[in-house]
Amino acid sequence: MTSKQSPPLRLTIWRQYGREMSVGVFLLLLLGYFGSTPGFLRAENLRDILINAAPLVIAACGMTMVIVAGMIDISAGSALAVCAVVAGITAKAGAPLPLMLLLPMLTGAAIGAVNGWLVAWLRVPAIIVTLGMMSVLRGGIIWWTRGEWIGNLPPSFSAIGRGEVVGVPTPVVIALGVVLFVALLLARTPFGRHIYAVGGNPVAAARMGISVRRVLWLVFMLHGMLLGLSAVVYASRFSVIQSNAGIGFELLAISAVVVGGVNIFGGQGTVWGSALGALLLQVIGTGLIFRRVSEYWAPSVQGALVLLAVVTDALRTRRAGQ
């Protein structure tokens, strides 16, 4: 406010975080709309919404980096299943807590490393690489587990998904931590700025001396690691782990990111928007049940929202260009 520069602070904030703020406003409007149904705004329900959204928020953070870098990952749902099974097996083997977190994250990072390597060094389009990876992992997990679910999980594992840290559910704490971490990474580090540069214009980025390959590879690995963490939070919530979990999860994560204002062609967007986008999708899912809307409509409504978000984004960028 004290600054003498020409655009006042209010306008700068709006210009920088316009999309995030409009998603936030939209979220509040929805909460108001669904809030008129009995029980929706009760603390217990809001708490459940936050817990259930946590794995999606975490995955959306990783997906944000991937999309900002101009890439895409549609193997995320299959990777989630693989990491969840790894988490379950590790937990059942009696591993200590750090290992239960670490092994799935390493698994995710390994999957990301393969995806990233194929994309960065062999220059195969990300959509093709991850499409192949999606089937490889999905088939592999069925072959490996023989379709069996993993039950009898130890309490130390379930404590991750159902525990609390000073009154706040652990999944929510983890999700918040991840959002903060990725936000700082993207906004405050040279690596973060390189991601935007690579996503915005890879040729220019390379001329600036950025190693595009290395950035892409690291982005996929980090994203894989976060997927592993997301899988732990997801799986530890349940008494049995479905070996075939997360079908369609990748689309939810991509939707969350796009609804949150990240440019699908890369170079623009923040992790705050994606986190809000993930919350928005969860609120809609729960809200439609409370509103007693036919479940047949839920997927259409979610799809319509994504379209709405993309269209407004396109209009905004067009206006900005003029």
Partner 1 sequence: MRTAAICVIIVVAMLSLFTACSRKQAGPSAAKNVEKKLVVAVMPKLKGIDYFNAVERGAKEAAQELGNVELTYDGPIEGKVDLQIPFIESWTLQKVDVIAVACNDPDAIAPALKRAREKGVRVITYDADANAEKSGREFFVNQATFEDIGRALVDEMAAQAGEDAKVAIVSSSPTAPNQNAWIAVMKRYMAERYPKMQIVTIQYPEEDQGRAFSMTQDILKTYPDVKGIFGISSVAFPGAADAVRQAGKSGKIAVVGLSTPKSMREFVKDGTVKTVILWNPVDLGYLTVYVAKAVLDGTLQRGATEFEAGRLGKVKVQGDQVLLGAPMKFTAENIDQYDF
Q: What are the residues binding partner 1 (CB under 8 A)? A: 37, 39, 42, 44-45, 48, 52, 55, 118, 122-125, 128-129, 132, 135-136, 138-140, 142-143, 146-149, 151-152, 162, 234, 237-240, 242, 244-248, 285-286, 289-290, 292, 295-296
Q: Based on CB atoms, which residue is closest to partner 1, 107 or 242?
A: 242
Provide the Cα torsion 138, 98, 51, 61; round to 10°.
Answer: -60
Q: Based on CB atoms, which residue is closest to partner 1, 96 or 139?
A: 139
Q: Based on CB atoms, which residue is closest to partner 1, 164 or 295?
A: 295
Q: Based on CB atoms, which residue is closest to partner 1, 30 or 142?
A: 142
Beta-bridge mates of residue 168 = 165
Q: At closest approach, how far in Å is the CB of 149 from partner 1?
A: 5
Q: Based on CB atoms, which residue is closest to partner 1, 242 or 255?
A: 242
Q: At closest approach, how far in Å is the CB of 241 from partner 1?
A: 8
Question: Alpha-carbon distance 14 to 19, whole Å?
Answer: 8
Q: At closest approach, how far in Å is the CB of 1 from partner 1?
A: 43
Q: Is 293 helix (H, G, I), strand (E, B) or coil?
A: coil
Q: At closest approach, how far in Å is the CB of 155 from partner 1?
A: 13
Q: At closest approach, how far in Å is the CB of 39 from partner 1?
A: 5
Query: Which secondary structure element, helix H or strand E, spans residue 74, and what is its range?
Result: none
Q: Based on CB atoms, which residue is closest to partner 1, 23 or 245?
A: 245
Q: At closest approach, how far in Å is the CB of 167 from partner 1?
A: 18
Q: Based on CB atoms, which residue is closest to partner 1, 126 or 225?
A: 126
Query: Which secondary structure element, helix H or strand E, spans residue 165, and what is its range?
Result: strand 164-165
Q: Is 183 helix (H, G, I), strand (E, B) or coil?
A: helix
Beta-bridge mates of residue 169 = 164
Q: At closest approach, how far in Å is the CB of 143 from partner 1?
A: 6
Residue 160: partners with Cβ closer than 8 Å, 6 or more residues away? 97, 100, 101, 170, 171, 232, 233, 236
Question: Alpha-carbon distance 208 to 202, whole Å?
Answer: 10
Q: Based on CB atoms, which residue is closest to partner 1, 6 or 44?
A: 44
Question: Alpha-carbon distance 297 to 160, whole Å?
Answer: 33
Q: At closest approach, how far in Å is the CB of 137 from partner 1?
A: 11
Question: Alpha-carbon distance 283 to 275, whole Å?
Answer: 12
Total residues found in the chain within this entry: 322
Structure tokens belonging to residue 173? 């704490």
Question: Alpha-carbon distance 89 to 27, whole Å?
Answer: 38
Structure tokens belonging to residue 119? 């994309």
Residue 288: partners with Cβ closer than 8 Å, 6 or more residues away? 295, 297, 298, 301
